[in-house]
Chains A and B, each alone.
Chain A
Amino acid sequence: MNDYLQLLQTYFPYVAKGATITLQLTIVALLGSVALGLLTTFAKLANLRLLRVVATIYIELIRATPALLQLFIIYFGLTSFGLRLDPFTAASITLSLVGGAYAAEIFRAGIEAVDTGQFEAARSLGMSTPLAMRRIILPQAAVIILPPFTNFVISMIKDTSLALTISVPEIMYRSYDASSQSYRSMAIYSMAAILYLAICLPLSGFAKALEKRKASR
């Protein structure tokens, strides 16, 4: 027991510091995902065929390949073109690209779930398409999107652990490092688990509460 406390004392601050990096990476990747996701959604809804095709190709490419492969292409692959990204940047870009494709699907489903009569009513009052989107469709879509989007945030937090493979010092990287130094894998990885749980469980509860509220309406 004493021994465990000492282990905690030595390694917990080190591993916990990784949580800051995990969260930073999550936030940057989420911002990137939302921006890319919105662009892709509007491209998919656009009148211009070319835009729709580009958006579809992007989504399909991302969804049909493992995120780890995309990360390696961005971090190692691009060096063949003389592009050397630092690990945090490479991880941010990859997770934004992955997230953008999934977020686009969530956004599109949300927009399509809004009754078409809403759009027709808005248009029949003389609203332009962008105005109808902004004032009528998106506010309703946002309510529909929120629960699946919260789940998406949770997967994003867990996916940042991929960055371990390119030495971004987030939670997983540090626990791997600490366990190989201390030979106490179980104890160290339990610390990591507790950190992930502490971040993700409240979010998951939030998503459940949202879904319940929606169902009871």
Chain B
Amino acid sequence: MSRTILQLEGLEMAFGQLRVLRGVDLEVDEGESIAIIGPSGSGKSTLLRCLNRLETPTGGGVIFEGQRIDARTDINQLRTRMGMVFQQFNLFPHMTALANVMEAPVHVRRIRREQAEAEARRLLEKVGMLEKADSYPRQLSGGQKQRVAIARCLAMQPRLLLLDEITSALDPELVGEVLDVVRDLARQGMTMLLVTHEMRFAREFADRVVFMDGGVVVEVGPPEEIFTRPKSERLRKFLTAVLEQTT
């Protein structure tokens, strides 16, 4: 029986009058890979941003690793346990790939430079970027940047990874190399919440798929069920629309 690592209880987020999340309930087990799909504007990015507190939710609760996140939670500490990878990579342009990966371990975890460097090189190797350790972000392709960004995230040894459309800014031929890295991480038991528009990847990669629409979770289930036997009308419509787009 696997352990619950993350639990959302009626999570709500409003920007002024605009209610973007209207009570999201979800439980995630340790080691699970979850794909989040849904139409544009359904609140997928907002959900991830609420989890690591880049936005402060306006209602509901989050329990992460057995601890309820509230006003007393040390947010910086929480963020070291919850890595986030962005669509736009957001690598630090004034640092080499290696320095990008070493930055947080040295300055946040405060581990020794030599140790941080050895660890950073190991992670760069893991994402196939060791030869580019001394390159600056502007010298890298989109796919390479995203792989470095993943290594930078892993360097904090997070217990949960939040990935928001990490291949959407990439040329099609570069998507594969990034997804390979994600697939590897899933195999090694990393817990992941991955927002994606790549239905084929969601289907193949995820243990469970979450379909969001209008700020709530409409359906959750194993990929087979979600993609072949959708229960709700809304999911059926969404899948039809997506299929039309890609074919």
Contact = CB atoms under 8 A, between A and B. Distances in A.
Interface of A: 115, 117-118, 120-128, 131, 135-136, 139-140, 143, 217
Given A126-B108, A127-B104, A135-B107, A117 B90 contact: yes
Given A123-B54, A124-B79, A124-B84, A140 B93 contact: yes
Interface in B40-59: 52, 54
Contacts of A139: 94
Give 8 nearest A-B pairs by CB, closest first. Answer: A121-B90, A126-B80, A125-B104, A117-B90, A124-B84, A126-B79, A126-B108, A126-B76
Contacts of B109: 126
A217 B139 CA distance: 11
Contacts of A125: 79-80, 83, 103-104, 108, 152-153, 156
Contacts of A135: 103, 107
A119 to B, nearest CB: 9
Contacts of A117: 86, 88, 90
Contacts of A120: 54, 86, 90
Interface of B: 52, 54, 76-77, 79-80, 83-84, 86, 88, 90-94, 103-104, 107-109, 138, 149, 152-153, 156
Pick the most buried of B79, B88, B104: most chain A CB atoms within 10 A of its CB: B104
Nearest to B94: A139
A131 B106 CA distance: 12
Q: Label chain A's interface by main secondary structure.
A: helix
B156 A140 contact: no
A117 B109 CA distance: 22
B90 A115 contact: yes
B43 to A, nearest CB: 18
A128 B74 CA distance: 11
Contact of A128 (B54, B76, B92, B138): B76
A117 B85 CA distance: 11
A123 B79 contact: yes
Pick the most buried of B90, B103, B108, B149: most chain A CB atoms within 10 A of its CB: B90
A87 B66 CA distance: 67
A52 B63 CA distance: 36
Contacts of B153: 125
Contact of A126 (B88, B92, B93, B104): B104
Pick the most buried of A117, A122, A124, A128: most chain B CB atoms within 10 A of its CB: A124
A136 B79 contact: no
Contacts of A123: 54, 79
A140 B86 CA distance: 19
B108 A127 contact: yes
Given A121-B92, A135-B107, A140-B93, A127 B83 contact: no
Nearest to B80: A126
B152 A124 contact: no
Given A120-B86, A127-B108, A135-B103, A140 B79 contact: no
A111 to B, nearest CB: 14
Contacts of A128: 76
Contacts of A140: 93-94
Contacts of B52: 124
Nearest to A124: B84
Nearest to B82: A124
B100 to A, nearest CB: 9
A132 to B, nearest CB: 10
Nearest to A125: B104
A118 B153 CA distance: 14
Nearest to A136: B92
A124 B107 contact: no
Given A117-B86, A120-B86, A135-B107, A127 B76 contact: yes
